[in-house]
Amino acid sequence: MKGLIVFIDILGYQSFLENNSAEDTALEVLGMIKDLPKQAGERAATFLDKYNNSAKANGQIVTKQLEHVVFSDTIVLLLRNEDNAQSPMVHGFGAAADAALRLMAQLFAKGLPSRCVIHEGEFMMQQSCLAGRGIAEAYRLCGELDFSGIVLSNKVRERISGWNPVTTQTSIIFEYLVPLKGGAEKKLLCLNWYQTLDEDDRKACDQDVIQFVSESFWKYNKDLPISTDSKVRNTCKLIRRFKLAMKEPAVINLLMPAAKET
């Protein structure tokens, strides 16, 4: 089976478990994680209302096919594309990208900063079994990220490169020199999850980005060891780039193809 994979890894989750012994609190947060993919899918359906009837109908079909798996510190969203068809992939990317944006923003605001990769590849999911080369590739790239952000794999970048009006420089998606573990860097396309924060959270972020980011990493009595400092610093830098992207002219919504003129 081939399709889109949204792989999300919650940062500092081990510390969360170590410092939150109260069962009710842990279950409440875990319940929130489990419910978020469904909520994100519902918002994606609302998002599609902006497009023409054909895009809206096809997009809603795709959104209903959004599957999710939650285990430990990992959330995986899946959109199957058995025929490797171009049209379902166009709408699928819109649904997957919107789900990732909303989910990442909510997790961060709730004190669960995460890192995310949107990838295209092979996978198999049957009941409680999830496997496949695409899952392994998404896991590997996600584990390299040294910040709380959303990146597109090169396979997804190649797939969307010819779509209109997808470009590499908008307020929602842009090329960024992504920090990796060990001090390495790599240019990848990033999605702007800051833009999907609710109004209160965005105001708090605008007032003091360092405090906003630090509080997310510290929430639930989590520890913030020296080894995590680079993630905090790199996330602050990324948010500043998000804000700059929102000031740039000629902003276009790239998550779906341009509606055809009638």
**Long-range contact list for 24-30, CB < 8 A, 24+ apart?**
25/220, 29/110, 29/112, 29/220
Strand order across the beta sheet in which 150-152 lies: 67-71, 74-80, 2-10, 114-122, 150-152, 185-191, 173-179
Instruction: Give me 17's structure tokens.
Output: 């478990």
Per-residue pLDDT of 170-204, as tens digits, reads 678 888 999 999 999 999 999 999 999 999 999 99
Cα of first residue to Cα of last residue in the chain, in angstroms, is: 36
Is residue 2 within 8 A of residue 119, CB to CB? The reply is: no
User: What values do phi and psi take at 110, rounded to 5?
Assistant: -85, 0
Domains in the chain, please, with CATH?
A: 2-247 (3.30.70.1230)
pTM: 0.82
Per-residue pLDDT of 209-255, as tens digits, reads 999 999 999 998 898 889 899 999 999 999 999 998 888 644 444 44
β-strand 150-152 against 114-122: which pairing, if any? parallel
The pLDDT assigned to 230 comes to 96
Is residue 192 within 8 A of residue 171, CB to CB? The reply is: yes
If one counts every other C-beta atom within 10 angstroms of the C-beta of residue 174, the result is: 18
The closest alpha carbon to 192, from 147, 137, 238, belongs to 238
